[in-house]
Amino acid sequence: MKVAVVGATGLVGTEMLTVLAARNFPVTELIPVASERSKGKEIEFKGKKYKVVTPSEAIALKPDVALFSAGGDTSKEFAPKFAEAGITVIDNSSAWRMDPTKKLVVPEVNGDVLSADDKIIANPNCSTIQMVVALKPLHDKYKIKRVVVSTYQSVTGTGVKAVNQLMDERAGKEGEKAYPYQIDLNVIPHIDVFQENGYTKEEMKMILETNKIMRDDSIKVTATTVRIPVMGGHSESLNIEFENDFDLNDVRAALAAQSGCIVVDDPANLQYPMPKDAHGRDEVFVGRIRRDDSQPNTLNMWVVADNLRKGAATNAVQVAELLAEKGLI
């Protein structure tokens, strides 16, 4: 299978290559794609070297599938051109997520929506992906009414510039800034741009994408998204109100049975999910599972995942795996 990775030189693109190799995706020919300035640069994949090409050159090479992680503007410009050439695009930007004509897919949650007609498939926001993987079995069992989520998001979600800013500050060096404020020894309650309603774009992504992926607009979601000086993964505190009551052991069992979900919940032995443990892993980790005693039918839990893996690269590769399994690519 010929696979193009658009944005192959970026943080997520690099991770996509790692995940394709780690999961033994049947790549017969890799086509690394980046902007004109990276053209000709060599990328190594499974011991072979491949030269970076431009998007237009990649289309001419007719890959079977193209994994996009090059930003919204690139996706808006080139994803339709790839699709018109009969190439299936799995796009990691926000460009197509809320387009009613495009599927927004987390394989463990709504992979059944995919069809042969889907030529541009959207990969959800990183913080939404890990949340819905954990919510799905609980919604099926107890029906979710409302979710209150606060996130603790890694600097890797912003990109290389943010990682460099954190490490420069930690080393006491001046350097290029990704954030308007210091991030080391600080938290910034601001991810993406502020909207007229006072929420940030990241918060609105979590709200709107959750309803679309779960196929249920009745689920009420409110979010506060926060950047913290961490690398390795995003963490989320979830407060979930259900229509029906639950037993905590049944909740743990339902989460443990969910594909792609690992329960780490043993407070007596100080066992709970942390970003450093999720780093480099493809699963979503859930712990601190407890009843909210302040109101009926309400649960608290803590959800952690590597935002570059399950939150981006792994999810995109899993969508490609599902398409291949169904014979759609």
Note whether 129 and 209 are within 8 A (CB).
Answer: no
- 139, 234, 261, 279: the catalytic one is 234
Please give the annotated binding residues for phosphate, written as ranges: 97
Residue with token string 């480099």: 280
- 126, 139, 261, 279: the catalytic one is 126
Q: Which helix (H) or strand (E) holds 120?
A: strand 120-122
Note whether 192 and 201 are within 8 A (CB).
Answer: yes
d(CA 146, CA 279): 29
DSSP symbol at 227: B
d(CA 297, CA 108): 25
Note whether 292 and 298 are within 8 A (CB).
Answer: yes
Q: Which helix (H) or strand (E) holds 30?
A: strand 29-33
Note whether 276 and 306 are within 8 A (CB).
Answer: no
234 catalytic? Reply is: yes
Coil/strand/helix, residue 65: strand
Strands (E), 141-272: 144-152, 220-224, 234-242, 261-263
Please give the annotated binding residues for NADP(+), written as ranges: 9-12, 37-38, 307
Note whether 262 and 284 are within 8 A (CB).
Answer: yes
- Please give the C-alpha separations between residue 324 and each of 3, 65, 80, 181, 211, in angstroms, as whole numbers: 12, 10, 21, 44, 27
Handedness of CA 211, 214, 219, 223 (dihedral sign): negative
Please give the annotated binding residues, written as ranges: 9-12, 37-38, 97, 153, 227, 307
d(CA 95, CA 288): 34
Mark 95-125 as b/e (b = at least 16 C-beta within 10 Å).
Answer: bbbeeeebbbbbbbbbbeebeeebbbbbbbb
Coil/strand/helix, residue 182: coil
Catalytic residues: 126, 234
